[in-house]
Amino acid sequence: MTAYREGVAAPDEAVRSLRVASTLLDRYRTLTATQALSSDELELIIGEAQQIYPEIWRHLGDARKTLLAHGRDVSGFDAVRRSELVELGVTDIDVHTELDIASLLVGRYRQTTVKTATFNSAGYARARQGAQALMAAMPEVDFAALARAEDAEIAAVGSLQAAKWRSVAIAAAVVIGLLIAASKLL
């Protein structure tokens, strides 16, 4: 099965931009669902979200520009884009210190610093809508089939992490073999 339906060919640049935007949207959703175990982890999540979010809109904008140049209707995207003026992935960060009252009762002074982040969930929803509006401008492309094909390709290649550990295991086996051979010579 092909990802392209019969009809006029879709602009490849627009398809690529939308696939990248969709991948970034998936990553952003994952970040917003991640539970940070420490302040440092939360900082990393915030930093990545702040970098990814404007890139989502940039890729959507690139797809829009390409589609418009090919005479496609992008008014659905334009309507969504008008309402998204701020390109912040994290809209609020709050850090405050709380006193542990229970510790005071037993003669200890303890305070806890709490950091919270508010992710731009409304902007995420608008970006999803914008991506869907741009995909609708290319009805000849089966984006679900493209996503499945990409997933299958990644699965066929295998995990890059697994390949790294396999290489380490082979190197370790070679070193152990050399050590055993050297010990027999002594």
User: pLDDT band at residue 27, thresholds of 50, 70 and 90?
Assistant: very high
Q: Is residue 162 part of a domain?
A: no
| Cα 9 to Cα 140: distance, rounded to the nearest angstrom | 7
- Structural domain count of the chain: 1
Catalogue the E-assigned strands of 13-140: 90-99, 111-119
Helix (H) or strand (E) holding 34, with range, is: none
Q: What is the pLDDT of residues 94-125, one digit of tens each?
A: 777 888 888 888 888 888 877 787 788 888 99
Q: Is residue 72 part of a domain?
A: yes
Domain assignment of residue 84, given as a range: 12-91+118-141
Q: Is residue 1 part of a domain?
A: no
Q: Is residue 136 part of a domain?
A: yes
Q: What is the pLDDT of residues 127-181, one digit of tens each?
A: 999 999 999 999 998 888 888 888 888 777 765 555 556 666 677 777 776 667 6
Q: Is residue 86 part of a domain?
A: yes
Query: Is pLDDT at 18 greater than 90 in this prediction?
Result: yes
Q: In Å, how far from its chain's centre is CA 16?
A: 16
Query: 3-class DSSP state for residue 43?
Result: helix
Average pLDDT over residues 4-31: 82
Are the C-beta atoms of 111 and 103 separated by less than 8 Å? no
Q: Is residue 110 part of a domain?
A: no
| Cα 186 to Cα 180: distance, rounded to the nearest angstrom | 10
Q: What are phi and psi of 6, to 5 degrees?
A: -65, 145
Residue 33 tokens read as 């669902």
Q: What is the pLDDT of residues 59-68, one digit of tens each?
A: 999 999 999 9
- pTM, entire model: 0.70
Residue 166 tokens read as 């396999």
Q: What is the pLDDT of residues 76-97, one digit of tens each?
A: 999 998 877 667 777 677 777 8
Query: Is pLDDT at 183 greater than 80 in this prediction?
Result: no
Q: Is residue 45 part of a domain?
A: yes
Q: Is residue 174 part of a domain?
A: no
- Say what percent of the chain tops pLDDT 90: 32
